[in-house]
């Protein structure tokens, strides 16, 4: 018998961490950070709910931190086995982990300054740069469709999940004496029909499917509608003589935005904006995307690429890459007609928070959200329509227009999740993770209506035996 225990992303969207145990083998599917409210951040200083030294291997679905961010802590606590992931994920991982480390250091310093003032014990570092280096050395990159063995009875294949560069659906076949069982873990599933990413791979057989449900309660607008909405929002922001701020995740969202802006510019539907990609990390990540561009959705990319044009070169004629902090600060002097793409995607930190501070009080400006905003984040508060927002200790009036473009999501919507699931024949057992409780409830109801399947929605720490 095998078991899965969800130690994160159980009725919540972040902190993916699922422990698969079979007779004699323990494999972790993802090892991610909880993101969002401060309360969650404190959770990270807590110990793992299992012994990291007892884990034989990790399978990493993709490089996003809510799936990868606790790998250095896992190593710090004694894990020294292989970490399997795709080739592109292995390239993106160091960028993600080193960036997260510097944010972690800043948080730790701030907490310890406070603790010192209050006479409390100082919090020690949960992991170091050396641990990140060890994580990178433990990575065993695999190509999509390349089957590999973790043990002779534990076969694994990674398939394209179409979510971000390198993202994978994990298919695991467990052999037990005279029978075998197949587990499919969706990781984060992408949308169908995007311009940049391939559609998620379809799989026909599994005994048990552990599927994400971030948008289990809603469908996204289709791409044509979304692009048209994006065009109109930008046109109205331009007409009001304002600027457009786009909080964007460095991996995935940013690259799709560059592609869509390029597409609007190519069809001469974009006003005379100056476009800033104000994120050293997103720039670095986009360089990696550019290396893999021909393996991505060739149709979408080729229609834009003239010869050897890439996301960073020639797709957009007025694209400025700002790496140095002083160049980022200089953007504040621009009065109007700047599109500013910066992280973090949920406005929990990073350069976007400075741009929001400088621009959110001015009703000529527009903030355009293009990705999921988790509970407890400033991004979620702004989307929910707060009148004031506190940033850098200052109460700021929210006068800027606030727009949300769900159609740019990197996650499948409700119907796409159901369609993906419907390809499994005969019907598998279904376990839903990576979604807030309401979203997973709605998805579970819809799965029952359409596929007559009773999906399970485990709580954190609950054991699913199969
Ligand atoms: Zn993701």
Apex CA 140: angle with CA 139 and CA 141, to 5°? 105
CATH number, domain containing residue 83 = 3.60.15.10
Domain end position, chosen among 361, 393, 408 = 408
The reply to whether 393 and 442 lie within a common domain is: no
Q: How far is the CA of 363 from the centre of ligand 1 (A)?
A: 32
Note the pLDDT of residue 304: 65
The reply to whether 355 and 238 lie within a common domain is: yes
Report CA torsion sign: 446, 203, 255, 104.
Answer: positive
Q: How far is the CA of 383 from the centre of ligand 1 (A)?
A: 20
User: Could you tell me what percent of the chain has a pLDDT over 90?
Assistant: 73
The reply to whether 374 and 299 lie within a common domain is: yes
Q: How far is the CA of 411 from the centre of ligand 1 (A)?
A: 8
Measured CA to CA, the distance from residue 173 to residue 121 in angstroms comes to 47
Report CA torsion sign: 14, 16, 17, 18.
Answer: positive
Pair 455, 448: CB distance under 8 Å: yes
Whether 298 has a pLDDT exceeding 70, the answer reads no
Tell me the whole-structure pTM to 2 decimals: 0.90
Domain end position, chosen among 370, 386, 408 = 408
Task: Please give the tally of structural domains in the chain.
Answer: 2
The reply to whether 384 and 450 lie within a common domain is: no
Q: How far is the CA of 250 from the centre of ligand 1 (A)?
A: 11
Q: How far is the CA of 248 from the centre of ligand 1 (A)?
A: 13
Q: How far is the CA of 16 from the centre of ligand 1 (A)?
A: 10
Measured CA to CA, the distance from residue 318 to residue 265 in angstroms comes to 10
Measured CA to CA, the distance from residue 219 to residue 406 in angstroms comes to 9
Query: Predicted confidence band at 306 (pLDDT cuts at 50, 70, 90)?
Result: low
Domain end position, chosen among 370, 391, 408 = 408
The reply to whether 353 and 274 lie within a common domain is: yes
Q: How far is the CA of 429 from the centre of ligand 1 (A)?
A: 23
Q: How far is the CA of 188 from the centre of ligand 1 (A)?
A: 5
Q: How far is the CA of 64 from the centre of ligand 1 (A)?
A: 5
Whether 313 has a pLDDT exceeding 90, the answer reads no
The reply to whether 177 and 243 lie within a common domain is: no
| Three-class DSSP labels, the chain | CCEEEEEECCCCCCCCEEEEEECCEEEEECCCCCCCCHHHHHHCCCCCCCCHHHCCEEECCCCCHHHHCCHHHHHHCCCCCCEEEEHHHHHHHHHHHHHHHHHHHHHHHHHHHHHHHCCCCCCCCCCCHHHHHHHHHHEEEECCCCCEEEECCEEEEEEECCCCCCCEEEEEEEEECCEEEEEEECCCCCCCCCCCCCCCCCCCCCCEEEEECCECCCCCCCHHHHHHHHHHHHHHHHHCCCCEEEECCCCCHHHHHHHHHHHHHHCCCCCCCEEEECCHHHHHHHHHHHHHHHHCCHHHHHCCCCCCCECCCECCCCEEECCCHHHHHHHHHCCCCEEEEECCCCCCCCHHHHHHHHHCCCCCCEEEECCCCCCCCHHHHHHCCCCEEEECCEEEECCCEEEECHHHCCCCEHHHHHHHHHCCCCCCEEEEECCCHHHHHHHHHHHHHHHCCCCECCCCCCEEEC
Query: Predicted confidence band at 303 (pLDDT cuts at 50, 70, 90)?
Result: low
Q: How far is the CA of 97 from the centre of ligand 1 (A)?
A: 14
Q: How far is the CA of 41 from the centre of ligand 1 (A)?
A: 18
The reply to whether 146 and 231 lie within a common domain is: no
Q: How far is the CA of 267 from the centre of ligand 1 (A)?
A: 30
Q: How far is the CA of 85 from the centre of ligand 1 (A)?
A: 14
The reply to whether 401 and 440 lie within a common domain is: no
Residue 334 CB partners (closer than 8 Å, separation 6+): 243, 274
Q: What is the pLDDT of residues 411-464, one digit of tens each?
A: 999 999 999 999 999 999 999 999 999 999 999 999 999 999 999 999 999 999
Q: How far is the CA of 465 from the centre of ligand 1 (A)?
A: 26
CATH number, domain containing residue 254 = 3.40.50.10890
Whether 124 has a pLDDT exceeding 90, the answer reads no
Q: How far is the CA of 93 from the centre of ligand 1 (A)?
A: 13
Q: What is the pLDDT of residues 316-347, one digit of tens each?
A: 888 999 999 999 999 999 999 999 999 988 99
The reply to whether 71 and 160 lie within a common domain is: yes
The reply to whether 171 and 232 lie within a common domain is: no
The reply to whether 403 and 344 lie within a common domain is: yes
Shortest CA distance to 433 belongs to which of 411, 466, 449? 411
**What is the longest distance spanned by two Cα atoms in the chain?**
71
> Domain range holding 400?
223-408
The reply to whether 244 and 352 lie within a common domain is: yes
Q: How far is the CA of 65 from the centre of ligand 1 (A)?
A: 8
- β-strands 274-277, 338-342: how paired? parallel
Q: How far is the CA of 327 from the centre of ligand 1 (A)?
A: 29
Q: How far is the CA of 249 from the centre of ligand 1 (A)?
A: 10
Q: How far is the CA of 410 from the centre of ligand 1 (A)?
A: 8
Q: How far is the CA of 285 from the centre of ligand 1 (A)?
A: 14
Lowest mean pLDDT among 140-144, 245-249, 315-319, 341-345: 315-319
- β-strands 366-369, 244-247: how paired? parallel
């Amino acid at each position: 018998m095998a078991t899965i225990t969800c130690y994160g992303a159980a009725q919540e969207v972040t902190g993916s961490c699922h422990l698969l145990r079979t007779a004699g083998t323990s494999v972790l599917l993802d090892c991610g950070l909880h993101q969002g409210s401060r309360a969650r951040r404190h959770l990270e200083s807590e110990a793992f709910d299992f012994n990291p030294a007892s884990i034989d291997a990790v399978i990493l679905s993709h490089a996003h931190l809510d799936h990868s961010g606790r790998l250095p802590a896992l190593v710090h606590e004694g894990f020294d086995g292989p970490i399997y992931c795709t080739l592109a994920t292995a390239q993106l991982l160091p960028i993600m982990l080193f960036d997260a480390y510097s944010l972690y250091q800043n948080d730790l310093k701030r907490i310890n300054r406070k603790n010192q003032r209050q006479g409390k014990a100082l919090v020690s570092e949960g992991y170091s740069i050396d641990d990140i280096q060890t994580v990178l050395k433990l990575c065993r990159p695999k190509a999509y469709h390349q089957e590999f063995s973790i043990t002779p009875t534990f076969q694994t294949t990674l398939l394209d999940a179409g979510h971000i560069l390198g993202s994978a659906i994990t298919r695991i076949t467990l052999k037990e004496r005279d029978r075998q069982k197949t587990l499919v873990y969706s990781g984060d599933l992408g949308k169908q029909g995007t311009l940049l990413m391939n559609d998620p791979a379809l799989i026909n057989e599994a005994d048990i499917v552990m599927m994400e449900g971030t948008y289990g309660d809603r469908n996204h607008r289709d791409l044509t509608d979304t692009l048209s909405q994006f065009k109109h929002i930008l046109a109205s922001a331009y007409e009001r003589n304002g600027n457009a701020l786009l909080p964007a995740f460095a991996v995935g969202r940013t690259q799709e935005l560059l592609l869509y802006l390029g597409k609007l510019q190519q069809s001469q539907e974009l006003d005379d904006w100056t476009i800033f990609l104000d994120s050293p990390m997103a720039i670095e990540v986009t360089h990696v995307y550019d290396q893999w561009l021909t393996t991505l959705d060739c149709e979408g990319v080729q229609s834009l690429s003239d010869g050897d044009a890439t996301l960073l070169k020639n797709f957009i004629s007025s694209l400025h890459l700002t790496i140095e902090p002083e160049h980022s600060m200089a953007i504040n002097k621009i009065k109007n007609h700047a599109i500013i793409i910066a992280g973090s995607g949920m406005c929990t930190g990073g350069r976007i928070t400075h741009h929001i501070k400088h621009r959110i009080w001015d009703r000529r400006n527009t903030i355009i959200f293009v990705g999921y905003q988790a509970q407890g984040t400033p991004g979620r508060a702004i989307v929910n329509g707060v009148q004031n927002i506190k940033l850098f200790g200052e109460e700021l009036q929210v006068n800027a227009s606030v727009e949300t473009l769900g159609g740019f999501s990197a996650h499948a919507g409700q119907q796409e999740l159901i369609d993906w699931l419907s390809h499994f024949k005969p019907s598998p057992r279904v376990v839903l993770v990576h979604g807030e409780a309401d979203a997973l409830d709605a998805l579970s109801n819809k799965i029952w209506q359409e596929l007559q399947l009773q999906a399970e929605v485990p709580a954190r720490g609950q054991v699913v035996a199969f």
